[in-house]
Each structure stands twice: as structure tokens, then as C-alpha cells.
Structure 1
Amino acid sequence: MDSSVAEQVEILGTILQPSKIALLLLGAWLLWFINNLAKKLADRLMLNLPSYRFLLLQSVTLFSFVWYLGGFYVLVVGVLDPPKEFILALGGSAVVAVGFALKDVAASLIAGLILLFDRPFQVGDRVSFSGVYGEITSIGLRSVRIKTLDDNLVTIPNASFITDVVSSGNSGAMDMMVVVDFHLAMDADISLAQQLLHEVVITSPYVYLKKNIAFTCKEIALSDRLAIRVQAKAYVFDVHYESAFCSDITRRGEIILARENIKRPVRS
């Protein structure tokens, strides 16, 4: 056997000692355990301090990034302690091999760092991306997790957000604009309908009254007939109550429009 090859095998045997591997696995488990503990602590704090929910979510995301990157570096260098010569000899071929095998993962890792500092959206934001709408629950090293309004958890690779368009509804704020549509007949009393709907909106328990409430009207083609679309635009005080806010306005709006005999579109 060539002396250089034998030397590398000997170095590899020194690095991959059972005791070092066991210590490496223990260290990896410790990294996971502390990160998981930090997330649980943040969840408890969010229950007691709801106004700091976004700050806590963003802090624990940043902590996970730094903790895993720094922790794995310390484990590899501190536990395995590979000599520089071995790293230089093995590094070139390993980088090429791993690069081809994990190019998508590497792209997502780099994209994750870009997302963390460029911040097109934050943990807690309501976003729309490639037909998926929901709340950002985590921004990880490899992927972003979105919880939809149907309570489904969607995982999207970080790299996808670098090239595609993503829309954020609240951009780090707790409140968010919600738009609710109502359709009226062409000869309906639009002014009265708008007054009634305004009363419905301002009396909702979910409305954020520090921001303006607006209404827009537009003539549209609804199925086989013309109609007036009235859009109520108001802010919900917490994005968690978006669906409840929409349902409340729709339910009470339909009741009051029917009670006041506001004409609605009918099939011809």
C-alpha cells in the first residue's frame, strides 16, 4: 500500500474512534435538545406575553440558526479534531462530491441565510406563495414552514423563495388588512348598504380601530348577470383572528342586509 494512502487511513482511523463518534452523537443530541427547549420556552412566553409573539418567534428562529451552525462547527473541530493536512487532502474531492449530491440542500442553506438577513418576510407573517396562503411558523436552515388556514403545515425549500414572488400581508405587524366582499343588485341602495356594513365592521370584536376602515364599490359580471361588489376593508387586531374576523363580518353583514331589505343579485 502506498505510504500516503496508509497515512491517510491511519489518520481517518484516529478521527473516527468509537469514543469520538459517541461523543459526536451525544453532542448532536444536546444541540437538538437545547434548541427544542428554547422553542418550548418561547411558546410558553408567547402565551403569557402575546404582544411580544412576533419578537419571540423571530428570536428563536435566529437562535436556531446560530446554535446549529456554531454547534456543529464546535463538534467537528473540537471532538473529531481533524489535522489540517487531512482536511486539505480530503477537502477538494469531498467538496465536489458533496456539492453535486447536495446542491439543492446547499442552495436552500444559502437561501436561508439570505432570508434571515434580507427579511422579505418574518416568522408570524401571513404570506401567499405559489398558491399557498398561511402563517410563517419557522424559517429553518433548509426550509420555511407555513401553517395554512386549514391547519395544514406546508414545508417549502428556502431556495424557492429566492426566485419566486412572495406576498406578505402584515410585514411583521400584528394587525393586518382583511377584505370581505358583498354583492348587491344593480338597483340596490348602495349608500344604505355601506352604512349598515360600516356599523357591522366597527362593532366586530376583532376589528383594529386605530387604522382606517374603507369601502369600495365596483360593477362586475357575476355569473350570468351584472352586480355591484362592495368590499369592506378593515384591519384585524391580530392575524390569528383573520378567519374569525371574516366570518363575523360576513355572517352579521348578511343578516343586516336581509333585515333591511337590501336587494341582492338574483338569477334572470
Structure 2
Amino acid sequence: MDTDQLTGLFRRITPAIITELVLVVIAAMVLAWLVQFALPWLANRLHGRRRHWVLALIPTLRILVVLVAIGWVVSLLIEPSLRNMVAILGTVGLALGFALKDYVSSLFAGVVAAYERPYRPGDWIEVDGCYGEVRHIGLRALEMVTPDDTVVVVPHLKLWSELIRNANNGGASLMCVASFYLAPEHNAHAVRRALHDVALSSPYLKLNRPVVVVMEDHPWGSRYRIKSYPMDPRQQFLFVSDLTARGKATLQAMGVEFARVEAMAGSGESNAG
């Protein structure tokens, strides 16, 4: 853009325009301050949904104040012509493209997710270290609820860069694992049978799915894992707790010693028995 074009883009600055600019900026600052402090004051005097509704208005109203102020300032400084509007809109569009590229990428990933279905409502997934149940899938992101009842919003953008682990993959079967860490001196066959019986007697067990007890030997002792399925994926934590508590009591009644924490620290294992 040459000097003549650049000169024609802006209006001639006059004292009246400067005064109006100052008034617009002051008015925007006052309104933003009122929104920031008056609405929380009002919300603290309300209860229930009305309080949250008023608090949710704060960022929206502040953005509206800023956008109106920017539009007013631009209309005062820029000469209103078709050529100028096209130039401004092109610049704004380019800036928005860079600013919203992750948002647009999440939208495209949402389309891919709707087609490939790596997760569905009701699935238990792990994304970026967060594990929980998928409750809602939107265009841009999904909502999952962790076992601690925390809502986590995960953008579909994670499809491009993160591993997504799906525990039940749209089905009603979800494998659970209860681990036991035992000292070396014990009857391995008796322990496997006992742990197998513990799983079969659980009130949460899904009977039409297999129950497997896996053993691994280590320098510090042996690790046993009960692999089985609860009746409902939402019972997984109750199921594992039941297996662990009753399995531990059964092994103690058999006189089996658990691996010592000091011995396992050097091997990078942790005592879950």
C-alpha cells in the first residue's frame, strides 16, 4: 500500500474526533469496571441457578463492551468507503484465522470423531492423563466426568496429537485389574486358586465374561493380577475395591506374606496388595 492509499484510509483527525475518542475509551473502561465489580456484588446476593447465571454474564458483557468500543473507535479513525472496508475486513479475517486455527482444527477433528467414533457417550476413556466417562460430545469438544466427579472438557484437537485409551469402546464390558504383591515364599497354585475364587464370589462380577489370574515373578517376589469384568462399567471402582479387600483378607488367612515396600522401592514397583 503506497502513501496515497494509506493516507486515504484514515480520516483527518480533528479536535472533535479526539474528544469523542477519549470519551469512548473512558466510557468503555467505566462499563467494564461496572461489569467486573457490580455483577459479582449482585450475584453474591442471589442463590442457586440465578447466581451462576449472573456470574456467567460477566465475560460475555465485557467482550461486548470491548467489541463495541473497538468498532466505535475504528469508525472514527477510518474513512468509510468500500475499498477501506474490504481492506479492514481482509486484515481482520487474517487475524481471526491465526487466532482461531486451533478452534477450527477442533471442529474438523469433531467431524472425524463423528465418523470414526473413537469415543461415544458412556465410554470410559483416558486422554492426556485424565480418565473418566464421556457424558457429552459437542462439535468442538467432549465432556468427561472423572471418578472424583470433576467435569473435564477435552477438545477434539487431541485426536491429532494424543493417544486416546478407550476402556470399553462402546460396549458394556470393561476389564478391571486388581493387583497383589507377594513375598517369594508361598504356594503359587494355591494363591491363584484362592484369588480366582475371590473374583467368582464378588457381587459385582459379570458372570458371562472370563476371570483370569495372572502371575509374574520378580526379584522381590511375585505379582498377581485378577483380570475380570464388573456387571456395569460404572461399578469398576467398587469392583476393584471389593476384589482387593477380600483378596487381601483371603491371602492373610492363608498365611501368605506380602512383599515389603523397602524391597519393591528399588524395582520401581508400588505395594498395591
TM-score, normalised by the number of residues in structure 1: 0.61
SS in 2 for 1:117: helix
Question: Is 1:236 the equivalent of 2:234?
Answer: no
Whole-Å separation in 1 of the counterparts to 2:184 and 2:228: 24
Specify which of 232, 252, 273 is matched with residue 258 of structure 1.
Answer: 252
Are 1:227 and 2:221 an aligned pair? yes
Partner of 1:57: none
Q: Deviations over 1:249-268 (max 9, x none)?
A: 00111111111212322457
- 1:77-226 to structure 2, matched below 5 A, reads 95-221=93-219, 226=220
Whole-Å Cα distance in 2 between the matches of residues 176 and 103 of structure 1? 36
Aligned-residue offset at 1:93: 6.5
Distance apart, 1:97 and its partner CA: 4.4
> 1:196 & 1:121 partners in 2: Cα distance?
36
Aligned length: 178
CA distance in 1, matches of 2:153, 2:96: 23
Contact preservation (8 Å) 2:210, 2:228: yes
Larger mean CA deviation between 132-141 and 239-248 belongs to 132-141
User: Secondary structure of the residue that 1:182 maps to in structure 2?
Assistant: strand
1:217 Cα deviation from its structure 2 partner: 0.7
* Distance (Å, rounded) in 1 between the aligned partners of 2:221 and 2:175: 24
1:32 corresponding residue in structure 2 = none
1:188–1:264 CA contact under 8 A, matched in 2? no
Preserved CA contact (<8 Å) 1:126 1:168: yes
Q: Find runs of 4+ consecutive structure 1 residues off by over 3 angstroms.
A: 89-98
In 1: Cα distance, 2:242 partner to 2:193 partner: 17
Query: In the alignment, is residue 246 of structure 1 matched against residue 244 of structure 2?
Result: no
- Please give the alpha-carbon distance, in whole angstroms, between the structure 1 residues aligned to 2:112 and 2:196: 42
1:96 deviates by: 3.6
Task: State the Cα deviation string for residues 111-136 of structure 1 (Å, max 9, x = none).
Answer: 11111111112111111121111111
Once the two structures are TM-superposed, the CA of residue 148 in structure 1 deviates from its matched residue by 1.2
Alpha-carbon offset, residue 230 of structure 1: 0.5
In structure 2, C-alpha distance between the alignment counterparts of 1:117 and 1:207, rounded to whole Å: 33
| Structure 2 gap segments, 5+ residues each | 1-85, 264-273
- The CA distance in 1 between the partners of 2:161 and 2:98, in whole Å, is 21
DSSP 3-state at the match of 1:137 = strand
1 CA distance for matches of 2:193 and 2:104? 55
Considering only CA atoms, is the larger Rg found in Structure 1 or Structure 2? 2
Q: In structure 2, how many angstroms separate the alpha carbons of the residues matched to 1:188 and 1:121?
A: 43
Cα offsets for 1:225-265 (capped at 9, x unmatched): x0100011001121100100000000111111111212322
1:257 and 1:206 map into 2 onto residues whose CA distance is 20
TM-score by length of structure 2 reads 0.60
CA distance in structure 1 between the aligned counterparts of 2:93 and 2:163, rounded to whole angstroms: 31
Give unmatched runs, 5+ long, in structure 1: 1-88
RMSD: 2.3
Secondary structure at 1:181's aligned position in 2? strand
Q: Deviations over 1:130-158 (max 9, x none)?
A: 11111111111121212111221111211
**C-alpha separation between the residues in 1 aligned to 2:146 and 2:134?**
9
